Amino acid sequence: MALETFADRLRAVMAERGLKQADLIHAASARGEKLGKSQVSQYVSGKVTPRSDVRALLAAILDVDAAWLATGNGARAAARPETANAPVRPTATTRSTTMREFKKSSKLDNVLYDVRGPVADEAARMEDEGLRILKLNIGNPAPFGFRTPDEVVHDMRQQLPDCEGYSDSRGLFSARKAIMQYAQLKHLPNVSMDGIYTGNGVSELIQLCMNALLDTGDEILIPSPDYPLWTACATLAGGTPVHYLCDEQAEWNPDLADIESKVTSNTKAIVIINPNNPTGAVYPREVLEQIVEIARRHQLMIFSDEIYDRLCMDGHEHVSIASLAPDLPCVTFSGLSKSHMIAGYRIGWMILSGNKRSMRDFIYGINMLSNMRLCSNVPAQSIVQTALGGYQSVERYVEPGGRIYEQRNYVYEALNAIDGITAVKPKAAFYIFPKIDVKKFNITDDEQFALDLLHEKRILITRGGGFNWPEPDHFRIVYLPRMEVLHEAMDDLADFFAHYRQG
């Protein structure tokens, strides 16, 4: 069959070579050239024919004659100088001595997860060399002396013999019943047992929901700064994350006008993270009511990540947005990792509430994906009832005199005492998101700043860009270490900023 068009010839050679569009982009980059994703897509689809210089680049990458690729005329093979020792090209009967390279999927090209990213990799390398690194990058309570309540550990031990088989794909009856009762206390409307799903942490359930909801081209509103898993999962599912700003001047509450301005005909849902990671904000009822009004006006689904809802301080009330939206489809996420200091047990849940009729097909997709992974961790499910129904030891940590409360106050005051650093006081969770005076410190690259801090002071933080914040002027600190460690860390940080200039 004649290869009549440029696109026909390009696709044919790519298929023969086993190359994807991303491979062409990477090969061009290796040659010091640039090919854009949409650019290559248009060449392959035949919508656009490239300029002569780009055709020559593609021909060199594919090892074919540039004139043949452009017109289909002449010899297909690239012209080569004749040598006596010319290498033999593999044929059907000649096995290549070089193993082909297996590259990551191009779906990961726009995925970011800097909480465990390049700077964390460098910290791991330094640890391998025997250096001690203070890790202020992940909200993992156990390494800092926060222990799981004894009653929870005891109950899991007692129930282990009964947890050797799979559970219902949604989860154990006892776990879901306890979650349903908790949802009732939070005033979530129209909640039933079949609308509650357990997961291996909230992370698994976020990924499951994004895959169940999003088609290519669908948009989903996600806060900036965000917990980066939301953006990553939406991207992997084929959707387009659209970031709305949270306003630092308004205690990091969502900018309602910015949300409204970013809704399009392709927008399917809005995500809120409340209490917020990385800022520690707790959204007031009136802000949540206005977000509900925007979702109602544009018929959006609401996803609410509330994993820190039991870690509020200073008397701030946590309101579940689903309790304000009985007429809208809502999915509310929470779990025990943070409130019961059992991050490694991996137990989270999601609650479907409100207008379930409008999400019937989405629920069908959720059930399909839940069944495919069989079930979540059954031993961890077995302690949900004990954890939610018993004494809430976390309350001791977040009241005046408690570790989290006092450490939050100290870090907030210590950061604001550093010339060129300002921070909004967190109202919940383990995190603070200080702002850097980038002009004072000449910071243009926040990843470089994080690396410089790591190399000089051996303190590992997460840069603001890791939370899809658009400017290089923020970073996140986890204030879980004991007070004496935080004193050392803040002194080191103050010393670092006393002389640091990027460049």
- 177, part of any domain: yes
Question: How large is the average pLDDT for residues 132-137?
Answer: 89
- pLDDT for res 253: 97
Residues 276 and 316 in one domain: yes
Question: Is 60 exceeded by the pLDDT of residue 16?
Answer: yes
Predicted confidence at residue 70, as pLDDT, reads: 84
pLDDT for position 112: 67
Domain annotation covers residue 96: no
Is 90 exceeded by the pLDDT of residue 392?
A: no
Lowest average pLDDT, out of 104-108, 360-364, 418-422, 495-499, goes to 104-108
Residue-range definition of the domain harbouring residue 415: 114-139+400-499
Average pLDDT over residues 330-341: 88
Q: Which of 364, 389, 414 is the last residue of a domain?
A: 389
Which amino acid is residue 308, in one-letter code? Y
Percent of the chain at pLDDT exceeding 70: 94
Number of other CB atoms surrounding residue 300 within 10 Å: 21
Question: Is the domain of 125 the same as that of 37?
Answer: no
End-to-end CA distance of the chain: 58
Query: Across residues 290-307, what is the average pLDDT?
Result: 96
Domain count, the chain: 3
Q: pLDDT digits over 420-474, tens only? A: 999 999 999 999 999 999 999 999 999 899 999 999 999 999 999 989 999 999 9
| 136: pLDDT strictly greater than 70 | yes
Tokens 């994807």 label which residue? 20
Cis, peptide link before residue 143, omega less than 30° from 0: no
Give every CB contact of residue 48 below 8 A, 6+ residues apart in sequence.
Answer: 39, 42
For residues 289 and 429, membership in a common domain is answered with no
Question: Which CATH number characterizes residue 320's domain?
Answer: 3.40.640.10
**Which has the minimum average pLDDT: 8-12, 58-62, 147-151, 319-323?**
147-151
- Write the CATH number for 120: 3.90.1150.10
Choice among 162-176, 178-192, 253-267, 362-376 with the minimum mean pLDDT: 162-176
**What is the token pair recorded at 202?**
């909230």
Bigger pLDDT: 326 vs 382: 326
What distance in Å separates the CA atoms of residue 23 and residue 38, rounded to the nearest whole number? 14
Q: Are residues 191 and 332 in the same domain?
A: yes
pLDDT of 118 > 70? The answer is yes
Residue 35 lies in a domain: yes
Same domain, 408 and 481: yes
66-92 b/e (C-beta count within 10 Å ≥ 16 → b): bbbbbeeeeeeeeeeeeeeeeeeeeee
**Both structure tokens of 329:** 């489809």
pLDDT-derived band of residue 332, with 50, 70 and 90 as boundaries? very high
Residue with tokens 């060399």: 129
The candidate with the shortest Cα–Cα distance to 350, out of 140, 171, 138, 155, is 171
If asked whether residues 267 and 206 sit together in one domain, one would say yes
* Residue 273 near residue 244 (C-beta atoms within 8 A): no
Side chain identity at 402, as an amino acid letter? G
**Domain assignment present for 331:** yes
Q: Check whether residue 216 and residue 269 sit in a common domain.
A: yes
Residue 394 lies in a domain: no
CA dist 193 and 202 (Å) reads 18
Q: Rg of the Cα trace of the chain? A: 27
**Per-residue H/E/C for 341-385:** CCHHHCCEEEEEEECCHHHHHHHHHHHHHHHHCCCCCHHHHCCHH
What token pair was written down for 365? 């997709």
Phi–psi pair at 486, nearest 5 degrees: -65, -35
Residue 86 has pLDDT above 70, yes or no: no
- Compare 431 and 382 and report the one with higher pLDDT: 431
Q: pLDDT value at position 440?
A: 93
Q: How confident is the model over 186-202, as a mean pLDDT?
A: 93
Residues 246 and 288 reside in one and the same domain: yes
**Structural element, H or E, at residue 67:** helix 66-71
Task: Please state the rounded mean pLDDT for residues 233-237.
Answer: 92
CATH code: domain of residue 60: 1.10.260.40
In the predicted model, what is the mean pLDDT of the chain? 88
Query: Could you count the other beta carbons within 10 Å of the beta carbon of residue 59?
Result: 20
**Is the residue at 442 inside a domain?**
yes
- 252 close to 276: Cβ distance less than 8 angstroms: yes
Q: The tokens of 25 are what?
A: 């982009």
- State whether 195 and 336 are in the same domain: yes
Whether residues 283 and 216 share a domain: the answer is yes
Of residues 45 and 303, the one with the higher pLDDT is 303
155 and 263, same domain (yes or no): yes
pLDDT band at residue 494 using 50, 70 and 90 as cut-offs:
very high
Q: Please determine, for residue 85, whether its predicted confidence score (pLDDT) is greater than 70.
A: no
Q: How many CB atoms within 10 Å of residue 411?
A: 27
Long-range Cβ contact pairs of 158-166 (< 8 A, separation 24 or more): 159/379, 159/382, 159/383, 160/379, 160/382, 162/382, 163/378, 163/379, 163/381, 163/382, 164/378, 165/378, 166/374, 166/375, 166/378
Give me the residue label for tokens 């700077």: 119
- 489-to-190, 260, 454 alpha-carbon distances in Å: 47, 40, 12
Q: Is residue 1 part of a domain?
A: no
Decide if 395 is inside a domain. Answer: no
Looking at per-residue confidence, does 39 or 437 come out higher? 437
Tokens of 405: 């409360």
* In a shared domain, residues 52 and 126: no
Min mean pLDDT across 24-33, 81-90, 393-402, 433-442 is at 81-90
